[in-house]
Chains A and B, each alone.
Chain A
Amino acid sequence: MKAVKKYMRVYGLFVRHSIMSMMEYRANFVAGVLVECCFLTLKLMYVFVVFLTGLSINNLSPYYVMLYVGNYTVITGIYNGLFAENLWWLPFNIKTGMLDLLLVKPISIQFYISTKKLSLPMLAANVVTGITMIIIALCNIEFNASVGGVILYFLFLICGVSIAYFLFLLPMLLSFWTIESRGLIAISDKAWDINMMPMHIYGRYIQRLLVFIIPFFAITNFQPLVLIDRLDFRYGVWMILCPLILGFISRVLFRRGVRKYESANG
């Protein structure tokens, strides 16, 4: 309990520091929000095309796609705002030997490198737009979820962000062994785009591969299904198990990686 309190206090300090540095360069914050708005326009183009063509996916109306893209946008905002930029620096820190400085800090190194910086423009722009899309979509489709369903939605939201975190941490960890893994990181980064549309648009084998083997689809696909009460029970169980399994694997690899780490510099 004491440790949890300590980490919450440290995280509070990280948040404060991020806000302070952002306020110092306000123009950068505004520019960041504007760039995020451009990215959001890009996502909205997909929704627009679906509406324009009246595409029905899995016998669901275009509003379901809007609900899905809204949920995808919220998760993108949370993951990118809280973790993505921090994880991006890990290979660089390993390569340049900067990790030395971090290893001597009296807190968990994984916690430190994953949460040090918050990207508020990404978080704010995506979460606000995503929630707006979800609300508009829910007003136009059959919204079947009970209170339990809404609670489950939030639980799955946390699970989705955790899966994203663990899944995108894994290629970064490779840097402990290979030093240079930019290519693989670039590819895994782009893999995020595969979730731009609901998984039902893809063939059955791709769905199985990307739900159970490399669980990219588990990040964003199950939360909207909970809201319309169409989630398969098996997927619900997998959604709970998946972050636990990935968390275990990434933790083991992280520890091994740190043990393997040799300072490259200084």
Chain B
Amino acid sequence: MNSLLKYKRAYALGLKSKLEYRFDFLMSIASCAFTLIVLTTLWRAIFSNSGAEKLYGYSFQQMLFYVISSTLLSKMITTDIMNVISNDIKDGGLNKFLVQPFSYSKYRLSVLLGEKTCEALIILILIIALLIILPLASNSIIGFSSFLLSLIPILLSTLLNFYLSFILATLAFWVTDTFYLNFGLNVVILILSGAIFPIDVLPKMIVNISRFLPFQYIIFFPVKVLTGNYLTRELSLGILIQVGYILILGIASKLFWNYGVSKHIAVGG
């Protein structure tokens, strides 16, 4: 119980810090508008050019919904936690955490979830508004049930992204600068997670490669559930794969962390 209270405090800390900088977050949401304008205009031109009702299994409305919700979700899911952790390691800020009676990874995860709560609320409200404006199913109940179901993959994808970033952040124990690595990871996630274009639109080779990687479970899978474009079997299998990846990455991050800390020489801070 006591240990849970520690992480609740960390969660509240993250929440408060995000509320403090809410203007920044609203601005970053507003900055998505440009990407959205390009993508929606591009798809409108493609659909009107081809004259087809459906392309790659998506109607125009579904594609529009995919593009908007994937852009919003990628805003919510991506984090700079990798920079935060690697800076802690590099600048000696980690020292103060090592002597305290809590797990560093759980502390960072709690802070992240606190930060994401505020963002998630705003983004989910925007997605509900989108569901009302762009009804994807003739029956709006189906649309909203997909929305409720998608909350599970969305939460899992946040955890998945956290552990992926955490593992790469631990590289700061061995390399001097992880700035480019963080940048690179975010771009790879943008490409292979389906944040810009749905995975099934990409070349077959990329689709095949991405099958064996966790990235598509960060954006593509939750958005697919959100658009109602899935079978029940696919949903349960997808959630199982997400949980599997989280467990594997969680264990790997613990191993990396313990090994890194054992080699860590605390200077500065």
Q: Let me know if B187 and A55 touch, CB within 8 A.
A: no
From B33, B180, B191, name the one whose CB has the most chain A CB atoms within 10 angstroms: B180
Binary contact track A41-79/B, C-beta < 8 Å → 1, others 0? 110011011101111110000000000000000000000
* B171-197 residues at the A interface, CB under 8 angstroms: 175, 177, 180-181, 183-184, 187-188, 190-191, 196-197
From B32, B34, B175, name the one whose CB has the most chain A CB atoms within 10 angstroms: B34
Q: Let me know if B45 and A28 touch, CB within 8 A.
A: no
- Given A31-B184, A35-B184, A55-B49: A45 and B197 within 8 A (CB)? yes
- Neighbouring A residues of B180 by C-beta, 8 Å: 28, 31-32, 34-35
**Complex Cα distance A186/B31, Å?**
7
B23 CB–A CB distance under 8 Å:
yes
**Complex Cα distance A195/B38, Å?**
8
- Given A190-B35, A201-B42: A49 and B197 within 8 A (CB)? yes
Q: Let me know if A38 and B187 touch, CB within 8 A.
A: yes
**Complex Cα distance A84/B202, Å?**
31
- Neighbouring B residues of A55 by C-beta, 8 Å: 42, 45-46, 49
What residue of chain B has the Cβ atom nearest to residue A188's Cβ? B31
B1 CB–A CB distance under 8 Å:
no
Binary contact track A21-44/B, C-beta < 8 Å → 1, others 0? 000010110011011001101100
Q: Let me know if B34 and A190 touch, CB within 8 A.
A: yes
What residue of chain B has the Cβ atom nearest to residue A31's Cβ? B180
The 8 Å CB contact of A189, one of B31, B32, B37, B187, is: B31
The 8 Å CB contact of B27, one of A49, A52, A57, A183, is: A183
Chain A interface size, as a band, is 35 or more
- Neighbouring B residues of A197 by C-beta, 8 Å: 38, 41-42
Q: Let me know if B41 and A202 touch, CB within 8 A.
A: yes
The 8 Å CB contact of B38, one of A54, A184, A194, is: A194
Q: Let me know if B41 and A34 touch, CB within 8 A.
A: no
Q: Let me know if A45 and B27 touch, CB within 8 A.
A: no
**Complex Cα distance A186/B46, Å?**
29
A230 CB–B CB distance under 8 Å:
no
* B9-25 residues at the A interface, CB under 8 angstroms: 23-24
Q: Let me know if B197 and A193 touch, CB within 8 A.
A: no
**Complex Cα distance A56/B30, Å?**
30
A213 CB–B CB distance under 8 Å:
no
- Neighbouring A residues of B202 by C-beta, 8 Å: 45, 48
What residue of chain A has the Cβ atom nearest to residue B180's Cβ? A31
What residue of chain A has the Cβ atom nearest to residue B28's Cβ? A186
A109 CB–B CB distance under 8 Å:
no
Q: Let me know if A38 and B184 touch, CB within 8 A.
A: yes
- Neighbouring A residues of B191 by C-beta, 8 Å: 38, 41-42, 45
Q: Let me know if A57 and B45 touch, CB within 8 A.
A: yes
Binary contact track B234-259/A, C-beta < 8 Å → 1, others 0? 00000000000000000000000000
Q: What are 16 sample pairs from A and B whose C-beta atoms fall under 8 A apart?
A: A27-B175, A28-B177, A31-B181, A31-B184, A35-B187, A38-B184, A38-B191, A42-B187, A45-B197, A49-B42, A49-B201, A55-B45, A183-B26, A183-B27, A186-B24, A194-B37
Known: A35-B183, A41-B187, A45-B191; 7 extra A-B contacts, CB below 8 A, are A31-B184, A41-B191, A48-B203, A53-B49, A53-B55, A186-B24, A201-B41
